[in-house]
Amino acid sequence: MSGAKRFGGAHSPGNARPTPGAAGPARRSWFSGRKTRGFSWRILGLYLAPSPLLLTGVGAILTADLPRILWAMGGWAALILAARLTGEGVKAAAAYDERIIARPPAFPRKLVAAALTGLSIAGLCFIGAGLGLPISLFYGVLAAGAHVAAFGPDPLRAKGGAGVSSVDLDRVAEKLETAEAVVKETAAAADRLRDRGLSERIDRLAFAARDILREIESDPRDMVRARRFLSVHLVGLRDSTLKFAAAREKGAAEALRGEYEALLGDLETSFARQRERLVASDQTALEVEIEVLRDRLKQEGAL
């Protein structure tokens, strides 16, 4: 039984084998072409800023001051929750910015965090510091505004896909998000293999898959031509890797290694051909547009 049948089943692209000596996709770092999200001092500051409230709450516990415990610890917890929402919102916004076609986050974390920060500051000023309601509300609004100014609002609209209806754009964005999740699941399964050679091959396949996803993002009409890649080949890579990783953990993978490597070869060929088809389709469309433009210019006497 071939590796494609054993590990891929319905998801196998076929029994084609790569040409001996053919060069595979260029080796790149896993993060090549992707923005890195470095350490954020601003997010850390949000976690550290409420620390005095925590110390106040601990002191109130030692003196059994229940009202002080409630407002100090309650304010600290609310601000920590706002900090966490802000961090998640920043990551969601970064993922949105990286994509050509994207839907806005389902939950506006940064805006909710700004509102929670404002309410927390207003409550602390009014209850804890004993300030009047107007001045407390003023400080709350000031804190919420400073939060929005520092971290910005959440993306609220879908983007990309010029000339594509909103319904089609949502469908394309959803399928791309699903495909990206499949690639991540495949990478996680590859980490379980603890095999550098296989991990590098899966790494290259993951990059090839992301290249194809970028092609689809640049022209959503490619979604139809890439349907089989998204629903069969990409899912087959993930499923076969998960099965092989499970077999390896049980000590039963070595006898199946050759078949799994053969399947990876099939998929490498399939991914390369899929991208070539998408690129060739883009070139053909460009040639047609150029010819149409030249014909129009000839008719107008410009050529």
Residue 92 has pLDDT above 50, yes or no: yes
- Local structure of residue 135 (DSSP, 8 states): H
| Residue 115 within any structural domain of the chain | yes
Contact between 178 and 156 under an 8 Å Cβ cutoff? The reply is no
Tokens of 122: 């207003």
How far is residue 9's CA from residue 16's CA, in Å, rounded to a whole number? 15
**Residue 229: how many other CB atoms lie within 10 Å:** 24
pLDDT at 7 (0 to 100): 42
| Residue 303 within any structural domain of the chain | no
**Residue that is last in its domain, among 107, 132, 151:** 151
| Residue 2 within any structural domain of the chain | no
- Greater pLDDT, 86 or 255: 86
State which residues form the domain around 140: 41-151
Q: What is the pLDDT of residues 133-173, one digit of tens each?
A: 999 999 999 999 999 999 999 998 877 755 555 666 677 77
167 in the same domain as 261: yes
**Residue that is last in its domain, among 102, 125, 151:** 151
**Residue that is last in its domain, among 104, 128, 151:** 151
Tokens of 120: 């927390």
What band does 71 get if pLDDT is binned at 50, 70 and 90?
very high
Which whole number is the average pLDDT over 184-192? 88
| Residue 100 within any structural domain of the chain | yes
Q: What is the pLDDT of residues 11-68, one digit of tens each?
A: 444 444 444 333 344 444 333 334 445 568 899 999 999 999 999 999 999 999 999 9
Tokens of 65: 């001051």
| Residue 77 within any structural domain of the chain | yes
171 in the same domain as 136: no
- pTM for the model: 0.58
User: How many folded domains does the chain comprise?
Assistant: 2
Tokens of 206: 């993951």
| Residue 114 within any structural domain of the chain | yes
How far is residue 212's CA from residue 200's CA, in Å, rounded to a whole number? 19
